[in-house]
Structure formats: C-alpha cells, structure tokens
Chains A and B, each alone.
Chain A
Amino acid sequence: MITTQRTGSGASLSPRSPTSQQQPFLSVSVTDPVKLGNGVQAYISYRVITKTNLPDYQGSEKIVIRRYSDFVWLRDRLFEKYKGIFIPPLPEKSAVEKFRFSAEFIEMRRQALDIFVNRIASHHELQQSDDLRIFLTADEEVMERARVQETGIFKRKPADLMQIFKDVQSKVSDVVLGKDKPVEETNSEYEKLRHYIFELENHLAEAQKHAYRLVKRHRELGQSLSDFGKAAKLLAACEADSLGKAFSDLGNGAEMLSFKLEKEAHHLLMNFEEPLKDYVRAVQSIKGTIAERANAFGQQCELAETMRLKEINLDKLMLIRSDKVGEAEIEYKELKAESEEATRRYETIVKLMNEEIVRFQEQKTLDMGIAFHEFAKGQANLANNIADAWRSLLPKLEACSSS
C-alpha cells in the first residue's frame, strides 16, 4: 500500500514509510514559494520534491519548479482521463489582486497544493498516471510546452461540464427520443447521492463562511485588546503607586494576549478554516464527476437508441432484399461496437464512483476529525493563556485592596 502524508510545512518522508526497497512509495512535497517575474506578469513558483522507489520514475529523488497553472494542467488531464474518480480539488485562482502576494495567501495556497499532489500520489489509480509522472519529473521547458498546448483544448472545468451536460441532455431529448424530459438515471440510490452532494455543498459553504469570520474576529479582538492595553498604560501614569502599577500590569497583560490571539487566528485559519474550504472544493469536484457520469449516461442512451433505429432499418432493408443491406450491416456493426463502448465507459464510471464515494466519506471523516481536534486544541490553549495571564494579576490586586 502506498503511504502518504498531509504535510503542512513540506517535510519529506511519512513516518510510516519503510526504508526497505520492496515497499513501493511515492511521497511529494510542495515547498519554497518564490515570487518571479515583474508587474502584471509576476507569479509564484514552487519547488516540488519527489521521493520514490517506483521503477517508472528514474531515480529516487527529483526536484522540479512548478507554478500554479502547471497544477491546473495536471488536474485537467486527470479529470479527462480518469472519469469516475473524484479528482482532488485545487485552491482557487485569487480574485483580489493585492491579496495575491500576501504571505498568508501564499502559505494557504502552498499548503493546499501540497495536499493536492499528495492525494493524487496516494490514490491507487491516479498515482500510476503518466501525467503525474510528467508533472513530477519533467524539465521546466517540457512542462511549459505541455501546459501551453493543453490550455486551449482542455480548458474545461466542472462548471463548464455542467453546461455541456445540459446541452447534451436537451439534444438527446429533442432529436433522438422526441420527448421533452431530459434523460436522467432513475437509480434511487444514485439520486439520493446526487441530492446529498448538492445539498452538502450549501451547508459546508455556510460553515466555512462562519469559520472564516471567526478568524477575523480573533484578529479584531486581538487588536482591541492591544489598544485597550495601551490606554491602560497611559492611565497608569496618572495614578499613584500601587493603582498605577495595577493599570500598568493590566495593560501589559492585554498586550500580551493580543499577540496570542493573533497566533490563534492564524492557527484557526490554517487548521480549521482551510480544511473546511478544502471540503467544499472536494464536493464541487464531485459535482464535476457527476456531470461526467450524466454525460456518459446520455451518450450511452443516445447510441443505444440510434442502434435500435439502425436495427429496425436493417431488418426493413433485409426484408425488401435491398442492395443497401451490406452497407447497412457494416454501419450497424460499427454502431453496435460504439454503443457497447459507451455502455462500458458508463459502467466503469459507475463502478469507480461507488468505490470513490466510500473512500471519500472515510477520508472526510478523518480530515474533519483532525480539523475539529485542532480547532478544539487551539481554543483550549487560547482560553488557558487568557486565564493564566489575568490570574497572574490577582495577587497584586489583592494587595492593593488590603493596603
């Protein structure tokens, strides 16, 4: 079994990876973001370090430089080739220009990209992909060529696929079947899954929104504590002796806690909000796969129907002993092959999806479990820091009132 790790800082080997050559392993880390280029053309490049003993990867360690659009290329290629599998999600392109190069944003993105690649590397099917190998090992020039070539044709995203799906549906229903209703699978369990995924995205997005706000609130509280502390220290100068000292201590305590709050805000962002965001993205990715499945289903229906019509036609021709029979037979055979191919493709997707959904649920339970743990740990730490900081003031205050 291939081992994997979720790295936060680009450490290399997973603790469970054995040193013996027999166990195959593939571990990747995305590190060292560096800003390159100037002005509007500026971008961030990352170092991608691969450690492996897989035969296809010549050598045990490889380091390459990659940028965000390279990761997009990889995701798109995998999405094309491995229909039915939930391709791990990518972090979004940044909308706001000034935010693009902030330290925090860069770190969030780096972490997300690292998780992305590692998920691919630990998926039993995806890890065997040539595209992955190219991504992890090819020279920068080769990579750039590949990326530029593909962006034109394969610039498809899940959202676009939904549109194509809708188009296919309407075409099929209007032309071939002559009905107005779109062709949809009637499998009730699958319908349940579809409904679940669509609803889930909404609920998750809301939770993530509040998580993000909570991060902001921590920062705001930190800021106001800092200001409060400063004001207390100024007031201390107006008061005599022990009272002045008390205000001064209060001020120092508040300033120190402001610092702790800032730290917790960051911790909350990276270890709770980001995993939630990742969860949302994963669900969106699944919607893409659902669209692919619908697409395949539609094609299968269309071809089956066309084949049926062709069959009827052929029988007719055979009956009237037309000389077009030969031609028609060849056509029919070709169509049949296509139809079977489409059916096979569809069924593969169904089978893969069934496996994927189980894996997904399990993985998410683990991911969220860790996220919850970090959240709770962070909050507990913060609360204890707060309690300790204020508690240390009390003996002096007690002394004040008795004097």
Chain B
Amino acid sequence: MMAYENPFEDAHLQIPKEEMESIVLNETEAKANPTREESPLSSNQNPNPNYSDTSFLDPPSYADVVFSPQSIESNGHNSTISRSTSSSTSEFLKISVTNPVKEQEMSSSLVPGGTTYVTYLITSITNIPEYGGTEFMVRRRFKDVVTLADRLSENFRGFFVPVRPDKNVVESQMMKNEDFIDQRRAELEKYLCRLANHPVIKKSEELRVFLQVQGKLPLVKSTDVASRMLDGAAKLPKQLFGESTAGVIDPNEVLQPAKGGRDLLRIFKELKQSVTNDWSGWRPPVIEEDKEFLENKDKLQDLEQQLSNMSQQAESLVKAQQDIGETMGELGLALVKLTKFETEEAMYESQQVRANDMRNVATAAVKASRLYRELNSQTVKHLDKLHDYLGMMLAVNTAFSDRSSALLTVQTLSTELSSLHSKIEKLEIASSKIFGGDRSRLRKIEELKETISITEDAKAVAEREYERIKENNRNELERLEKEKYDDFVGMLKGFVINQVGYAEKMAGVWEKIAEETSGYAKDGS
C-alpha cells in the first residue's frame, strides 16, 4: 500500500468538515433544548447524505405510537385520562399557572421596609355551567393557595382532598431564587389541576371563587395555631368557672374537629375521651362496614409502602437511563474528535477507511444518546403517576383521620351525656331524701336537663356528620380504586410502549452499523 500524496483527492473518501461540525452542532443544539420533543427523525436539519435515515424510517407500529405528536405532547396534569364516569368526561376545567411577578407588600408588619412576595397568573378554561363563563384570569399569591387548601379541608371532610404544595419556612430567602419560584409555579399548577380533576371539588364554591374573583380572595383567612390558642385561652376560664352553659359544646361547632378550633375545653374533653378509649379498650360497636373499613385502611397502608418503594426505584431507573445516554454521547463525541484527527493527519488509505468507519460509529453513538435522552423524559412522565398516587395517600390519610375525629366527637358527647345523666340521678336521690324537696338541687337538675337537651342536639349533629364523612370515605374509596386501575394500566402501557418504541429505533441505528462493518467479521455474522 502506497502512502497517498494527497489524501483528499479521492472524492468519495472525502469527509467534509462541516459534516463533522454538524454532528457536534446537533449535539449542542440538543443539549440546549432538553425538552425538544419532536421525533428524532424529523429533527434532522442536516441535509447530509451520511445522515440518511431511510433505512430506519417508519418502524413498526409501536414506534409510530411513541412518536406521534399527541402522545409526545406535554402530558401535564391538564390532560386527564378519560374516565368512564360519564358526567365528568364532558365537563372539563383546565388550569395553568404562569408569569410569576414580584410584588411589594404594603408593610403593616414589624419588619421595616415592606416584604416582597410573588404572585402568579392563574388562567382557567372551562365548560362547567356553575362557572358561568369559559375563560378566567386572576393573580394569586401562595398565601391564597394556603387559604384555599384550608377551607377545602374543612368543608370537604372525608373526601380525598389533594394535598397542597409545602410552605417554605425561610420564605423570603427562597423567593430570591429563580429556580425555586419556577418549581413552586409548577407545583401550584399540578395542585390546581388535581383539584380540577376531582369530580366534587371542581364544582366547589371555594375553587370557583379562587379561580374567578378578581382582587382580594373572598375566603375566610386561615389563622395560625398561636392566635387560635390565645383565643381559646381567653375563653377557657369562662368555660370552667362561669355559667354552666358556657362549657357546653355548640352544636354547630361539632361539625369541625376539636383540634383546629379555639375551644380548648373541648379539646381537653376529646383528648380525655381518646385516652379512655385506648385504656378501656372500648370500641364503637363493630358493624360489618367498619371491618371493611379497617381492611381497606390496612390495604392502603400496604399500598403506600409499596408505592414509595417503587417510586424510589423508578427514580434510580431514570437516573441510570440518563447516565447511559450521557456516556454514550460522550463516547460519540470522543470518536468524532478522533475521526477528525485521523482524517486531517491521514497519510495512508487504511487510515481513511478507519476514519470512515469510526465516523459512522460516532454518528450512531450520538444518535443513540439522543434517543436515550428522549426515552428518559418520556419515562419520567409515565412513572410520575407513582409519585402522584403517593401524594394521594396523604389525602387518603387525612380523610380517614377526619372520620376518626368525627367519631371521637360522637363518643365524647356520648360520654358527656351519660355523665350528665348520672349527675341528675345522684341529685335526684339526694334531693328525695330531703322533706319537701331541695330547692337548690331541683334548680340544678333543671339546668342539667337543659344542658342534656343541648348536648343531645349536638350529638345528633355529630352523628349525622360522622355518617356523612363515612359515606364520603366510601364513595372516594370506590372512585380511587377505579381511577387507580385506569391510571396504572395507562402508566404501564405508556411506559412499555415507550420502551419498545425507542428500543426499536436504537436497534435500527445499530443494525445499520453492524451491517456496514460486517465485512470485518470473522464468521460473517
């Protein structure tokens, strides 16, 4: 073999420089647009013949499905999987959260120089008749979202109310961080979309008002624990030492659990009751339904654990897919550089041939790397469902504890009633021993009878509330089962189809190279 005098004479061996650049160029482009979602085939802006994709055009059906525009489109939580409960499918509520803006608070706080906070633009599109309109835009801040969440959890006891995004303790510091703001924006969007997908909540007054009403949010503001305790502490002496009726529980108040309220005395009573329950082993009458409830509770706990585990493993899987794609890309780039070098320095034809082979392998590696990256961003979207349901478990736990606290209220009132009855009994016995009756005792008995009457009303309300919550639990469990089934099947299908599609594409890329280099194989494989 003679060394070539002018290695670039031979046209067909020539490797144009821009081609090399373009491989690198496409790579850096791809790096700059990590969310670019069009098909890798169509992303071919390079009219270079060596890039010819004709050999793996239009792969079998699954690859088509994976790369069709709809399935690749941002599958945020706006697009609901169609559920078979008829009424909800035709009604939709799409919410998007955008455009964070820093605003100044007119300082009424002790901190000098007002604090800043961020507002977000919330756009809703809907055809739900209760909304009386189709498109709305408001600006809300995170505090408003907290208010909304609190009002919902109060008014929708027993429902699986989606859990809102976390507050952040060091908020003013965090606000300066761009990434944090965008992350919060995304979380808010996810949260509101979940609310919008809940068949009951999406029609709620609270949500509607949040989404529609301009200016200040017309919902009762939540107060913090400290001020509630202060209020409660102020009332307590009256309850203990004042008029006997001051200690009675207000029938309306039984609609809410004791814990979040201002009635310290009630809190103490219910606490005492729960301790009594535990110590005496006294349980509410075991009804068939309760057993079922307890079974469900156990199953859901189990589910939560396994979901958490699988969610973790899913994260590792995604990381591993990302890593292999990156390394494949780096290998491709290293081979590109090597090819370029070999081409420039070539003194022998054998080098040219080698450079040619290497270039093809480099191109394939870069393509494969891109495919891995796309595969992965799809995988994340599918497996995110695991994460969603994990979040839902929190809502389920809340709903179950709503039930428990409602039951506790009922039991507390029962205990109260029986102690009142026994007090009356004692007084009657004592009074009967005195000839002509005991005026003061008789008066006391009258007062107690009044208290009993009020307490019986309260107990009736509490029992109704308890039943209502049980019913909500039941319905929500049914809904959860159905939706979980559909969602998980969808997730599995999506994940699997995705894997198949990209694996087919990758096989095509590598088969081509194997074919081109088959001449080197010893056994002609």
Contacts and interface: CB of A to CB of B under 8 A. Distances in A.
Interface of A: 189, 192-193, 195-196, 199-200, 203-204, 206-207, 209-211, 213-214, 217-218, 220-221, 223-225, 227-228, 230-232, 234-235, 237-239, 243, 246-247, 250, 357-358, 361-362, 364-366, 368-370, 372-373, 375-377, 379-380, 383-384, 386-387, 390-391, 393-394, 397-398, 400-401
B343 to A, nearest CB: 12
B507 A383 contact: yes
B428 interface: no
Interface in B273-326: 299, 302-303, 306-307, 309-310, 312-314, 316-317, 319-321, 323-324
A308 to B, nearest CB: 34
Contacts of B62: 391, 394
A384 B511 CA distance: 10
Contact of A358 (B3, B309, B506): B3
Interface stretch (B103-111, B351-359, B397-405, B456-464): B351-359
Interface stretch (B21-29, B34-42, B487-495): B487-495
A217 B324 contact: yes
Sorted from nearest, which 10 A-B pairs have the closest CB atoms? Answer: A369-B520, A383-B507, A376-B513, A387-B503, A380-B510, A373-B517, A210-B331, A376-B514, A217-B324, A386-B503
7 contacts: A206-B334, A210-B330, A246-B488, A361-B351, A365-B353, A372-B358, A394-B493
B338 A204 contact: yes
Interface of B: 1, 3, 62, 299, 302-303, 306-307, 309-310, 312-314, 316-317, 319-321, 323-324, 327-328, 330-331, 334-335, 337-338, 341-342, 345, 347-348, 350-351, 353-354, 357-358, 360-361, 364, 368, 485-486, 488-490, 492-493, 495-497, 499-500, 503-504, 506-507, 510-511, 513-514, 517-522, 525
Given A210-B327, A225-B317, A228-B310, A379 B506 contact: yes
Contact of A218 (B309, B324, B358): B324
Contact of B345 (A199, A206, A218, A401): A199
B337 A206 contact: yes
A207 B489 contact: no
A238 B519 CA distance: 53
A108 B357 CA distance: 25
Contact of A368 (B313, B345, B358, B511): B358
B500 A221 contact: no
A211 B338 CA distance: 14
Given A206-B334, A210-B331, A221 B324 contact: yes
Contacts of A400: 489, 492
A358 B520 contact: no
Nearest to B525: A377
A369 B493 CA distance: 39
Nearest to A218: B324
Main secondary structure of the interface of B (DSSP, over half): helix
A282 B196 CA distance: 66
Which of B312, B331, B493: most chain A CB closer than 10 A?
B331
B350 A362 contact: yes
A368 B492 CA distance: 41
A255 B496 CA distance: 14
A172 B489 CA distance: 80
B496 A397 contact: yes
A238 B520 contact: no
Contacts of A375: 361, 513
B350 A377 contact: no
Given A210-B331, A221-B321, A387-B504, A238 B353 contact: no
Given A232-B310, A235-B307, A375-B513, 9 more contacts: A192-B345, A203-B337, A228-B316, A234-B309, A365-B351, A375-B361, A377-B514, A394-B62, A400-B489
A368 B342 CA distance: 13
A211 B307 CA distance: 36
A229 to B, nearest CB: 8
A234 B489 CA distance: 16
B520 A373 contact: yes
Given A192-B347, A246-B489, A377-B514, A390 B310 contact: no
Contacts of A203: 334, 337-338, 341
B357 to A, nearest CB: 6
A362 B348 CA distance: 9
Contacts of A195: 345
B493 A397 contact: yes
Contacts of B521: 370, 373
A386 B371 CA distance: 14
A393 B494 CA distance: 12
B520 A366 contact: yes
B503 A384 contact: yes
A401 B493 contact: yes
